[in-house]
Structure 1
Amino acid sequence: MMAQPVESPNNYAIVADYPAKTYTKKYETLLIDGVRVESPFNNTQMVFRLSDVSFESDYYNRFITEPGAIIENQIPTLLIRSGVVANTVPYNAGVSTNLVLKTVVTKLFGDFRKGQTPTAVMEIQFILVDSSSVRPAIIFDKKILSKVELSDKTPEALAKGLGNAFSEIIEELAEAFSQE
């Protein structure tokens, strides 16, 4: 009897579009801290919501690397392209700047519950800390939720939907920064 070939996982990325609008520069330099993704979304496996209380991770459909890294790699370019930030510095560059952007992904899944339109759900909390004084001060703290309807219940549609959700979140963040 021949052994069946083992199915290899499909790999996806979350890719945001550049912001559609350009905002007035608000910050000269931001240090972008490492992005934290809350459990159970901090894994390479895609997560699907199947009922009000049932979530499932999918071994065969996963992100190419941890979602925090995928998101973290795009934030600097997206914020600079929005115009609201002139320069960004990665947290591991050894360069100090007063303003630190902390990012926490609190939701990252496909809502595939029966009887409703499949939806990509992403929620990110952004905290801007001014560390110029002895006691660092939070000068901005906002959780932004985006839900994007999907054409179908597939991992590919979910990856595209999460990219669109990320784009919407960055757009809303740039807008909020510009009004600070």
Structure 2
Amino acid sequence: MNGINISRRLSASFTLVLKTMLETNYTTPFCRLSLQKKQPPDSPHYTSSTFWRKFMSSDPIATWHRLVKERNTQGLDALLAEDAVFYSPVVNTPQVGKSITKQYLSAALHVFANESFHYVRELTGDRDAILEFKLELDGIAINGVDMIKWNEEGKITEFKVMLRPLKAVNLIHQKMAAMLQPGA
């Protein structure tokens, strides 16, 4: 078999796969949005593109990045699901509920709020992301990871923080405890 025949076979196979994808709901959001004709809202085909437009406009990670940059704790209300769970690097039990999750994330935004804080890597899935960050606090170089999950409405349902080194964990424990004290 020569290269031309292989190329034709691959081209025919690709065309068949693409045609099948377009006739079903197995397309990626980008292919679906760019290749699909505009549909009226009552069309059965409207649901898929509406979902992806809604998903793209309510990207929880983009919103989180904006809140961190602005140090905006008020925006957490719209970002967190009612059943959100926060996993702290220094508390043994999960903190369950929107209110307590907001308290922990608000405290973290204040504790970590300095010019050295920045995200260095981001891995994102359909409904979860891992964000690696670095900062320096009180002379200690801190490296950490935010592991975030969200629901289909784009609201965060789980936020887990991991930190290193041990000196950083101890320092964050002190500072977060001070922020979370009643009346702080």
Structure 2-normalised TM-score? 0.29
Q: Greater CA radius of gyration, 1 or 2? A: 2
Structure number with the bigger relative contact order (C-alpha 8 A, sep ≥ 6) is: 1
| Between structures 1 and 2, the one with greater helix share | 2
Structure 1-normalised TM-score? 0.30
| Between structures 1 and 2, the one with greater strand share | 1
